[in-house]
Structure 1
Amino acid sequence: MVDDLVMRSAGHGDVRALLEFWAAAGENGSRPADRPEAVGRLIDRDPEAILLATAADRIVATIICGWDGWRANLYRLAVAPDLRGRGLGRRMLEQAEDRLRGLGAERFCAMVLDDNDLGTALWRAAGYTRQEDWSRWVKAAGQSAEGARR
């Protein structure tokens, strides 16, 4: 495993390091760029939503476990490339599920990019299955309906 591993919730002091970590270790696909103020708003709204693992004072894994009082959503599961295959992703997922279960979650939903083979393998090994009858629909918050049709 990893020596000196500390698992905790992210705070405002972690935002810059989180953004750097996600840029290096995250699957970024077609997602909008991360911004410090957006991460800060999440921490303000739900201080325990971003779980991170550190070793030797560096972030080595993260997961966001969002809860809106009804649905549990998991995303931004990322592990430092040099530490993959050591069970960190599984440990992060277990911590996130424990938190969400404690809040009342009865089902977990994970957002995983279709071409993320490594991530897909982890989610499948943890008992998740791909839901074929749903598609994710997105719209930028500042976009009008007219702009979306173009």
Structure 2
Amino acid sequence: MTDATHGAPTVRTGTAQDLEAVLAFWSHAAEGTDRRDSEPALRRLIERDPEALLIAELDGRMVGTVIAGWDGWRCHLYRLAVDPAHRRRGIARFLLDTAEKRFAEHGGMRADAMVLDDNTLAHHAWTAAGYVRQPQWGRWVKPL
């Protein structure tokens, strides 16, 4: 986490007071419209893992998010989103670095990310951060 006085973002964990703002941010900055995001779902996330929702701020304004989920076995990354007006400034990388430090502190050995196939803009960000696509795996889902 860096010092905002030098124009760099700070990263903090999200709280229940942030839920409405995070949902509004995602509708503006995140890709994909088929999700069932809601305040109750986010509330469950932070109740289960209070450090999972990371929020990047610049001058007190939300400019990025990532969910850094640790289930005790695997490290999962979701909802990496950066405000379109603040992209290409290292905010995504800063969020990922923060998430990776969190994982390492818990003993995590590998992080994975769910990235939409059609979100080619995100592919560049993930590649730049050192992530690679695993062609041998496919995602299997069942709506509950």
Q: What is the TM-score when the length of structure 2 is the normalising length?
A: 0.91
Deviation at 1:57, TM superposition (A): 2.8
Shift of 1:138: 1.2
Per the TM alignment, residue 17 of structure 1 is displaced from its structure 2 partner at its CA by: 0.2
Which of the residues 28, 32, 54 maps onto 1:28? 32
Say yes or no: does 1:55 pair with 2:58: yes
Question: Is the 1:51–1:65 Cα contact (8 Å) retained in structure 2?
Answer: yes
Aligned length: 140
Distance 2:80 2:73 in 1: 21
Which 4+ residue blocks in structure 1 deviate beyond 6 angstroms? none
Q: Which residue of 1 aligns with 2:9?
A: 5
Output the amino acid matched with 1:34: D
Mapped pair 1:19 → 2:34: no
Output the amino acid matched with 1:120. H
Look up the match of 1:89: 92
Gaps of 5+ in 2: none
> 1:71, 1:107 within 8 Å by CA — same for their partners in 2?
yes
Q: For the residues of structure 1 that align with 2:118 and 2:54, how far apart are their CA atoms?
A: 24
SS in 2 for 1:140: coil
Are the counterparts in 1 of residues 74 and 108 from structure 2 also a CA contact under 8 Å? yes
- Report sequence identity in percent: 48
Match 1:113 to one of 113, 116, 119: 116
After TM superposition, the structure 1 = structure 2 runs for residues 64-143 of structure 1, keeping only pairs within 5 Å, are 64-141=67-144
Larger CA Rg, structure 1 vs 2:
1
Name the amino acid aligned to 1:21.
Answer: F
Q: TM-score, normalised by structure 1?
A: 0.88
Distance 2:56 2:127 in 1: 22
